[in-house]
């Protein structure tokens, strides 16, 4: 692993939880790692106590970094308050988002990273990020292998397989699938993972709530 893109089969399924677990896994093995969530919606202002629960704050905690304005800007330069698709959230604030600037910024970080780099996407794979682009366009433009995150909720198998097939169709390498345990799901995450694993060629593993990054994927990262 040098750099990878973390994409979701849906929204609010645990991408940041998985990304943070991966960061802790790499740091425990004394590997230099940087985690970025360049684009984030639903982010409170930095001086709001609720910021501590934001995705950006969780990634900084996994990196062992203090929450400072500089660290926040370096991790998540495009932040919006409304919990909407980024282009809609930006419009609500009277701002615009040029996804080409986003891609250029990410490419610069990839080129200058001194170690492993993890870039977390936003929403689901096909969530709009700008008027002319989706998360799929973002992943495709960066050309990085994708770590696909699925939930274990009812319907997660279909969503994960649809996302996996979309990646395959567009020629994007899928490193692995991680099933992040959904609260209140009707079946164990292992059942969901087994169903997905029978239908994709990439390794599939489970990340339980409160658990650590799966050792089964150690050889892939």
- 8 known ligand binder: no
- 70 known ligand binder: no
Copy the structure tokens of residue 83. 């919990």
For the packed helices 135-142 and 156-169, what is the interaxial angle rounded to 10 degrees?
40
- 120 known ligand binder: yes
- 53 known ligand binder: no
- For residues 5 and 147, is the Cβ–Cβ distance under 8 A? yes
- For residues 39 and 32, is the Cβ–Cβ distance under 8 A? no
- Token pair 């909720």: residue: 153
Torsions phi, psi of 134, nearest 5? -120, 175
208 is catalytic: no
- 190 known ligand binder: no
- Token pair 């699925």: residue: 150
Of 23, 37, 136, 148, which one is the catalytic site residue?
37
- 113 known ligand binder: no
- 15 known ligand binder: yes
Beta-sheet pairing, 3-8 with 146-150: parallel
Query: Which residues are the active-site residues?
Result: 37
Q: Which parts are annotated binding residues for Mg(2+)?
A: 16, 55, 120
Give binding residues as ranges.
12-17, 41, 55, 120-123, 180-181
């Amino acid at each position: 692993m040098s750099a990878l893109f973390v994409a979701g089969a849906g929204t609010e399924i645990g991408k940041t939880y998985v990304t943070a677990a991966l960061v802790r896994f790499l740091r425990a093995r004394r590997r230099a790692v940087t985690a970025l969530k360049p684009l984030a919606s639903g982010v409170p202002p930095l001086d709001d106590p609720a910021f501590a629960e934001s995705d950006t704050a969780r990634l900084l905690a996994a990196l062992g970094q203090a929450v400072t304005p500089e660290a926040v800007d370096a991790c998540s330069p495009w932040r919006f308050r409304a919990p909407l698709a980024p282009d809609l959230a930006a419009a609500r604030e009277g701002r615009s988002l040029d996804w080409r600037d986003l891609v250029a910024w990410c490419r610069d970080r990839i080129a200058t990273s001194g170690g492993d780099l993890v870039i977390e996407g936003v929403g689901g794979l096909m969530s709009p990020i700008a008027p002319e682009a989706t998360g799929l366009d973002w992943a495709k433009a960066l050309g990085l292998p994708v770590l696909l995150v699925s939930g274990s909720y009812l319907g997660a198998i279909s969503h994960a397989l649809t996302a996996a097939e979309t990646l395959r169709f567009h020629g994007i390498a899928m490193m692995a699938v991680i099933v992040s345990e959904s609260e209140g799901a009707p079946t164990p995450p292992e059942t969901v993972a087994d169903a997905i694993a029978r239908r994709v060629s990439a390794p599939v593993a489970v990340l339980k709530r409160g658990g650590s990054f799966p050792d089964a994927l150690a050889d892939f990262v």
